[in-house]
Amino acid sequence: MDRMLVVVFDNESKAYEGKKALQQLADEGSIGLYAYTVLAKQADGTATIKQGDTAGPLGTLLGTSFGSLIGMLGGPAGMLVGAAAGMGAGATMDFANLGIGQDFLDDVSKELKPTKVALVAEVEEDWVTPVDSRMDAIGGKVFRRALAEVTNKLHEENVAAMKADVAQMKAEHAEAKADQKAKLQEKINQLDARIQTQLQKIKERTEAAQAQAKAKADVLKARATAARAKAS
């Protein structure tokens, strides 16, 4: 399952231990590691990005989840990293659509107090025990949330509703007097344009989801190949 992890540590050295443990788990095949960042919260409440890896081809595709999370947790400094990871102006909305709710952000923010350090990562894991046991041993507190698949349900419902309105207006148009037909036709045209906009959004989201899935598969494949080469 594709998950977002935030592991909060008391200091930077512990966070680097956590990062190393996460990479070891990935090398062992216990998890798939797509991207990570070490984020330190300063005494004045600002955040500093200490280290990160956006896993090559996932740099832009992770912008709707990983980059957005860094931006939200890290404030202005995090926003810069989020932008570098492909987080555009609409990333916050995409982030919400991916199923990471405000409750998750609130829980992490309460723990990530000034002087603490977070290891933020997007991973593929079948079991929580490998990560939890390693992070517990280091002294990290783990927060995780499964990333929901991007769905088009809301857009599809909007399209269906607008099509119903168009059908109703066309029926009225057929019975309307001459002086009313022009106004009804204008409303029909406006709704038709909105329907096309929604359909385009559905198409773009579907294509983006397919591209992200392929990029993630490529990253895991490349890392598995590198691990085998290192072992031989």
Q: Tell me the pLDDT tens digit for each residue of 85-96.
A: 444 433 444 444
What is the C-alpha to C-alpha distance for residues 75 and 123, in angstroms, rounded to an integer? Answer: 23
What is the C-alpha to C-alpha distance for residues 116 and 40, in angstroms, rounded to an integer? Answer: 6
Q: Quick one: pLDDT band at residue 46, thresholds 50, 70, 90?
A: confident
Tokens of 217: 């598969």
Residue 114 has pLDDT above 50, yes or no: yes
Residue 47 has pLDDT above 50, yes or no: yes
Of these ranges, 12-21, 25-34, 51-60, 139-148, the one predicted with the greatest mean pLDDT is 12-21
pLDDT in the model for residue 142: 95
Least confidently predicted of 33-37, 45-49, 111-115, 166-170: 45-49
As a whole-number percent, the residues of the chain with pLDDT over 90 amount to 26
What is the C-alpha to C-alpha distance for residues 185 and 191, in angstroms, rounded to an integer? Answer: 10
**8 A C-beta contact, residue 2 and residue 124:** yes
HEC secondary structure over 154-191: HHHHHHHHHHHHHHHHHHHHHHCCHHHHHHHHHHHHHH
Q: Residue 98: which of 53, 158, 146 has the closest Cα?
A: 146
- pTM, rounded to two decimals: 0.65
pLDDT in the model for residue 211: 73
Q: Which amino acid is at 194?
A: R
More confident residue, 229 or 97: 229
Tokens of 74: 């890290």
Q: Enumerate the domain spans of the chain.
A: 2-146, 153-231
Residue 180 has pLDDT above 80, yes or no: yes
Q: What is the pLDDT of residues 9-35, one digit of tens each?
A: 999 999 999 999 999 998 888 998 888
Secondary structure (DSSP) of 103-128:
HHHHHHHHHS-TT-EEEEEEEEES-S
